[in-house]
């Protein structure tokens, strides 16, 4: 009996995987849980095990293919050999030979009725688009769409928003005056579509304004080179484009005096290194943020428009942005609030190394509550990070610098750390954003505050 093995779920909101290796051939005998292909997603590279046993009779994917979750990867003959399917196929090929002799009689009368039908349809078709008979339904649908479009009340900006996020504006119910479609209607409809489809519908969904404006021929002005987008880059573009268009971002800026913290960090660095980790500003901030999320639970939430609810998480998993040769990846530190700083440092070092060597698992890339993106090692004084949906906030960290600070009537040299907090204004008010970031700064400057209030 032939069984189809389909690409299983690869993780939350992952619809496609790029095949990087096919590990079996037609005729191979495979067992359940044996790895048959290797795929790469935007989050990890992993081997996919078979859910069936038997002999491979057909392989429907090849290296380089973008395969959708649920698509057939292999056809396996359970408990049989590869030649078995060939026998029935040969038998079926011989059976039609006899009917072919009888078929000339029925076709004789059949061609006659279609001819008058085509002649009758011919004068009608040219009046609309003049396609062949099979395309007669196309002009009707097009006409319906034109009529619907004419009746749709939506401003040019709303129509552009719909195009950018891949929504047919004609299908969106309007809640404005006289049924007018508002921006919120388009966004709500897009969210419902994503919920129904289990995520993004296509890996080739339009991103930003590029969907509506074709590119010019750049080769007219000089030599160009085209390179295929990596899976990680494509998915990053889609996710960030969607987050930017869906989430009303606000970014709050502040600075923390880390003069004392830097002294402590250098003092205890060797102790942490002996345990296998590295005492970094990012690791320290992860612990401080974990305490802040307990005090400000709205920052540890997710907006669920489909059910008109806000989901508050009782756990604390912190995503850490890691720069890799494949692009930006965000592995997740689990239960940061329940671990000591040394444990966090060790786990963070291990996570970052696995991300850079393509060994991160899907589980390590999911379930984050809040993200930290530290660009201090590269430079810059501030930036506006984009919220890592479905989270509602992200902390950006820039390079610290020694600055003169007026303290007790005089200027003193202090090491100041610039922080940028971006958040979803639908869930978090500006005052709460300012309070959260100020609390972070005070906790960094006075770690005892974490014990008092965290």
pLDDT tens digit sequence for 254-289: 999 999 999 999 999 999 999 999 999 999 999 999
Write down the pTM of the prediction. 0.61
Compute the distance between CA of residue 44 and CA of residue 250 in angstroms, rounded to an integer. Answer: 30
Compute the distance between CA of residue 297 and CA of residue 301 in angstroms, rounded to an integer. Answer: 7
Could you tell me the two tokens for 196?
A: 């129904």
* 75 has a pLDDT exceeding 70: yes
Compute the distance between CA of residue 361 and CA of residue 286 in angstroms, rounded to an integer. Answer: 21
- Check residue 61 and give its pLDDT: 93
Weakest-pLDDT range from 63-77, 97-111, 275-289, 409-423: 97-111
* 379 has a pLDDT exceeding 50: yes
Weakest-pLDDT range from 61-65, 186-190, 396-400: 186-190
pLDDT confidence band for 94 (50 / 70 / 90): very low
Distances (CA, A) of 21 to 9, 45, 159, 228, 326: 18, 11, 42, 18, 18
Residue bearing tokens 């995503």: 319
- Check residue 163 and give its pLDDT: 76
Compute the distance between CA of residue 195 and CA of residue 192 in angstroms, rounded to an integer. Answer: 5
Is 154-211+228-246 a domain of CATH 1.10.3710.10? no
* 73 has a pLDDT exceeding 50: yes
Compute the distance between CA of residue 124 and CA of residue 137 in angstroms, rounded to an integer. Answer: 12
- Check residue 184 and give its pLDDT: 85
* 401 has a pLDDT exceeding 80: yes
What is the residue extent of each domain of the chain? 2-91, 154-211+228-246, 249-453
Compute the distance between CA of residue 73 and CA of residue 77 in angstroms, rounded to an integer. Answer: 14
Mean pLDDT computed over 368-372? 97
CATH topology of domain 249-453: Chloramphenicol Acetyltransferase (3.30.559)
Residue bearing tokens 């004419």: 150
Q: Which amino acids are annotated catalytic?
A: 425
For domain 2-91, the CATH class is mainly beta
- Check residue 43 and give its pLDDT: 65
Decide if 414 contacts 405 (C-beta within 8 A).
yes
- Check residue 454 and give its pLDDT: 57
| 356, HSE (Cβ side, Cα atoms, 13 Å) | 10
């Amino acid at each position: 009996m032939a069984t189809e093995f389909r690409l299983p779920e690869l993780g939350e909101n992952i619809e496609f995987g790029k095949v990087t290796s096919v590990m079996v051939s037609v005729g191979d005998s495979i067992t359940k849980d044996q790895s048959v292909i290797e795929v790469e997603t935007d989050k990890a590279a992993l081997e996919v095990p078979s859910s069936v046993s038997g002999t491979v009779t057909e392989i429907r994917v090849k290296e380089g293919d973008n395969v959708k979750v649920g698509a057939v990867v292999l056809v396996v003959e359970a408990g049989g050999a590869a030649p078995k399917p060939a026998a029935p196929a040969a038998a079926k090929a011989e059976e039609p030979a006899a009917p072919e002799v009888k078929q000339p009689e029925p076709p004789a009368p059949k061609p006659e009725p279609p001819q008058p039908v085509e002649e009758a349809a011919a004068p009608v078709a040219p009046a609309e688009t003049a396609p062949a008979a099979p395309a007669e339904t196309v002009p009707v649908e097009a006409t319906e769409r034109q009529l619907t479009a004419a009746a749709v009340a939506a401003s040019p900006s709303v129509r552009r928003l719909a195009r950018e996020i891949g929504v047919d504006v004609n299908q969106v119910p309007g809640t404005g005056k006289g049924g007018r479609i508002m921006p919120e209607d388009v966004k709500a409809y897009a969210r419902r579509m994503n919920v129904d489809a289990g995520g993004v519908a296509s890996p080739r969904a339009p991103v930003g304004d590029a969907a509506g404006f074709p590119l010019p021929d750049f080769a007219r002005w000089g030599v160009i080179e085209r390179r295929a987008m990596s899976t990680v880059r494509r998915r990053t573009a889609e996710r960030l484009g969607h987050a930017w268009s869906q989430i009303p971002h606000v970014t709050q800026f502040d600075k923390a005096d880390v003069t004392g913290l830097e002294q402590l960090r250098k003092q205890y660095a060797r102790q942490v290194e002996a345990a296998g980790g590295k005492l970094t500003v990012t690791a320290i901030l992860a612990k401080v943020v974990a305490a802040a999320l307990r005090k400000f639970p709205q920052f540890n939430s997710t907006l669920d428009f489909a059910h008109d609810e806000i989901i508050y998480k009782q756990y604390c998993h912190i995503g850490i942005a890691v720069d890799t040769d494949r692009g930006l990846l965000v592995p997740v530190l689990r239960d940061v609030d329940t671990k000591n700083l040394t444990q966090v440092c060790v786990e963070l070092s291990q996570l970052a190394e696995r991300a850079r060597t393509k060994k991160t698992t899907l589980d390590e890339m999911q379930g984050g509550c809040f993200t930290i993106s530290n660009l201090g090692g590269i430079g810059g004084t501030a930036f506006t990070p984009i919220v890592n949906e479905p989270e509602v906030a992200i902390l950006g960290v820039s390079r610290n610098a020694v600055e003169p600070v007026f303290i007790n009537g005089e200027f003193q040299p202090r090491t100041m750390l610039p922080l940028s907090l971006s958040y979803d204004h639908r869930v978090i008010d500006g005052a709460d954003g300012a309070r959260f970031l100020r609390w972070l700064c005070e906790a960094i400057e006075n770690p005892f505050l974490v014990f008092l209030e965290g």
